[in-house]
Structure 1
């Protein structure tokens, strides 16, 4: 496994919130320290210069461990986005021994002749919420699964808040910009390797409002609020919607009027034939007639809305058509 650098980016879950941080592990001949920075708020924390006696106990001591090995251990726990490797790896030892029958075999073979496998350590990290004095506890751990040693070691490090100057915040923001540039370069490189599918043709949509009020037995005239695509157009008379492409369309309308006539005050007509009748219900603004329907229409079909009620249509009337599927 590639040894990670002594600084980088990491993350924690604190109070059910993901906290993204920078970390840096600094070591000297006989001490080490850990530094963290909240990438959002730019708050910083750091341990004191720690000697082995400050964090190593009988329960977490590493065999032949020194400052260098513990620093690498801490970085392994903190490092994020490392390449994933198989946890179970074959022991490559080729040292041979004789079994109780005098046969030679690899030292790491089990009685059935299979190579013994050892486990790479799994690692983790946790960060406490800040206390009243602003300090936090950083917990790092490693799980080992070697034949000669199995167990979990934990290290508890106290992080103290770091006083920041304005220039420190600016420097931290510059690092964020550099990271963003690196991420963008990676994204561009990844996108260059993708096969871009051909662009999908835009589905058409049109929204209409009433051009003026209509009395009984007249077609309602419309004007375009907005439109997109080429599936239909509003004729110059403002009454007729002409479909230039066939397909399946979602048609919605909302009409206010004052009609007191029984029956259906409005008709939706395709090619001059009524295909839907609209009833009405009383509202504070008068009678409201609404309809939402799907229609399969052909190229050249026409659509009109006919008002059969008495009195006039009201304000706020609207109609929209959305192409759901295109058929050549």
Structure 2
């Protein structure tokens, strides 16, 4: 194996007040090294790089297994029944039941003995295997302790960034827009919208289309107002130039008229909506409300 393989995580061997540990398993040149760091005191222990003969015996050797297979087995044993947060903290530490975990840590003077118990399944055969490692203490300089604390700060910063992103995803995505009340619409019959100030939507250059910048399911409510018309009109709500829904405005030569459309649809980022009025109606204005449903 020419490249170094490194796996890391956090683990615990008993409920509080027992400590929690950051573990690192690395292997290179067919040798493996396991290190543990007390997350509170920053004390560290490690095995040094071991050949197979140092931890494999006839009862625990897995047929045809390679080094990466054993690394996966050890990681699974250290992670078993452990739930971690994004800042590498164990969130269910108080719920751990020592008898059910697949690992045991014993203090021997200043050293530690790590036992990992796993169930091996090969060709419909199952047996329990135990791997034992002796970890010696590492003498840490002040700079090493500072580096360990800095690593914890990096984990906390990563977790904070993740929380911020999750909070952004839960942000209310909402738009209220009004169209310009013009004497006459353009040739295409498009309603032109007043400028909007939001990070989730933007207008096309000519103001005829509202572009979605955040994907999701949306509910929309459109109300179009018209002055007395010489003939009826039809209002059409479009998505990317294709009709979503339409509403007929009844002929009414004496009184103001209106038409409304309500619609729910999924929009991807950069999808656009527009409103078209046919039959060249005069003095047309509109309000539209758009809100994202859920996250």
> Which bracket does the TM-score occupy, shorter chain normalised?
0.3 to 0.5
Please say which structure displays the higher CA radius of gyration. Answer: 1
Query: What TM-score comes out, normalization by structure 2 length?
Result: 0.46
Structure (1/2) with the larger helix percentage: 2
Q: TM-score, normalised by structure 1?
A: 0.41
